[in-house]
Amino acid sequence: MSRTHINILPVQEFFDKCLDFLIDMFDADCGMLIFLDHITGNLVVRALRADIEDDGSCPVVLDNSMANIVAEDVETYLAEGVAPGFLTRWGSLIPLFNVTVPLKVGEQMVGLLALGFREESFLAEEDLTSILPAASGYITLLLKHCQLQHETVARNLKFIQSLNKLMEAKDRCTHEHSIRVAEYSVLLGLRAGCDKVFIEHLRQASLLHDIGKIGVSDGILLKPTSLTDEEMIVVKKHPQIGADIIGNVESMKLLVPLVLYHHERYDGKGYPAGLKGEKIPLGARIISVADAYEAMTSCRPYRDAYTREEAIQILKSCAGTQFDPKMVSWMVEILADEKDAKGDSSMEKVHSGSG
């Protein structure tokens, strides 16, 4: 199975939607969002809307005057006709009037919003003096928020990598198992129609779902034979230990329910809280199925790995009792797709791992 990488915020989508919104708001005929690359000093078009048939072969060219707008730090630039101080190309559409507004984060110019109009009476005075500057301020606020979220994700990923390194040092099998669980969880989340932000949470929680096993002694965690009842009581503490570890990190609090409840059962007979049905968070129901399938198809010191078909039969037999039946049916579809893509050779997938 190929790895599924998803960015938490689709930046290009964000730019496109911002521009669409502004074009609609001001009834413009075309528009652009342009950002200044502070390293190269170049202006880069990040979103462009014009009623042209654009095959992408003709580059968008910014003329020098536009760079001057950035350099001179004007509040609003209004131009009649295409030049001066504006794009040399709007495709086949030549707007009669253009308005350009700087985008700033604090006092720093980060780019430009440019709108083009065919009609002379395109903007009211109020639009130029207050609404457009306010709109540009709103965009830059969103940009700042977007940037902060990316920084948070990057910090979380570093933290997850550190925790996983710790786990790998203690039990390499649990570490590898978590990576494969994350891959299946993401595919299940996509099948369930979850949004990209939730999928990212799901991926992070899956990578950390067994991190609480750090708090379980090696004698129990690596025991080659079946566990005693007393040892099982200790193992069953790992969701709470894991939740306590990540719950201390503000930006990871949303992952806590997914880690804490990944051993709940659909019939309410799981642990640690005995939650039932849809009272179990969706992400935890997803991880539960991905975790079980991955564990079954991995070999253990005390048993061989189940084949894909054997594991699917067990999942189906536990649908509605241990697992959310919808998750099981989606998992079966995912595994069928995987089999179609890879053929029967992947059926006897054998890992050495722990669940």
Residues that bind Fe ion (CB under 5 A): 210
CA distances from 325 to 25, 190, 287, 290, 320 (A): 45, 17, 14, 13, 5
Other C-beta atoms closer than 10 Å to the C-beta of 196 total 15
Residue 295 Cβ, how far from Fe ion at the closest point, in Å?
Answer: 9
- Spacing of C-alpha 187 from chain mean position: 13
Cis peptide, bond prior to residue 272, ω within 30 of zero: yes
Residue 232 Cβ, how far from Fe ion at the closest point, in Å?
Answer: 12
* Closer residue to Fe ion (CB): 50 or 327: 327
* Closer residue to Fe ion (CB): 100 or 174: 174
* Closer residue to Fe ion (CB): 320 or 355: 355
Contact partners, residue 310, CB within 8 Å, separation at least 6: 296
* Closer residue to Fe ion (CB): 176 or 210: 210
- Find, among 247, 257, 252, the residue nearest to 285 by Cα: 257
Q: Which residue is nearest to Fe ion (CB)?
A: 210
* Closer residue to Fe ion (CB): 136 or 322: 322
Residue 243 Cβ, how far from Fe ion at the closest point, in Å?
Answer: 11
Do residues 185 and 281 lie in contact, with contact meaning Cβ atoms separated by under 8 Å? no
How far apart CA 284 and CA 296 sit, in angstroms, is 18
Q: Determine the 3-state secondary structure of 288 from DSSP.
A: helix
Residue 316 Cβ, how far from Fe ion at the closest point, in Å?
Answer: 21
Q: Is the dihedral of CA 294, 329, 207, 283 positive or negative?
A: negative
* Closer residue to Fe ion (CB): 109 or 208: 208
Residue 242 Cβ, how far from Fe ion at the closest point, in Å?
Answer: 8
The amino acid present at 61, given as its one-letter code, is V
Residue 181 Cβ, how far from Fe ion at the closest point, in Å?
Answer: 9
Other C-beta atoms closer than 10 Å to the C-beta of 350 total 12
How far apart CA 285 and CA 205 sit, in angstroms, is 12
How far apart CA 32 and CA 19 sit, in angstroms, is 7
Residue 269 Cβ, how far from Fe ion at the closest point, in Å?
Answer: 16
What kind and span of H or E run contains 44? strand 43-49
Residue 160 Cβ, how far from Fe ion at the closest point, in Å?
Answer: 16
How far apart CA 255 and CA 245 sit, in angstroms, is 11
How far apart CA 262 and CA 285 sit, in angstroms, is 7
* Closer residue to Fe ion (CB): 6 or 241: 241
Which phi and psi angles does 3 have, rounded to 5°?
-70, 145
Residue 210 Cβ, how far from Fe ion at the closest point, in Å?
Answer: 4
Which phi and psi angles does 280 have, rounded to 5°?
-75, 130
Token digits for 108? Answer: 């720093």
How far apart CA 277 and CA 285 sit, in angstroms, is 9
Residue 265 Cβ, how far from Fe ion at the closest point, in Å?
Answer: 13
* Closer residue to Fe ion (CB): 159 or 271: 271
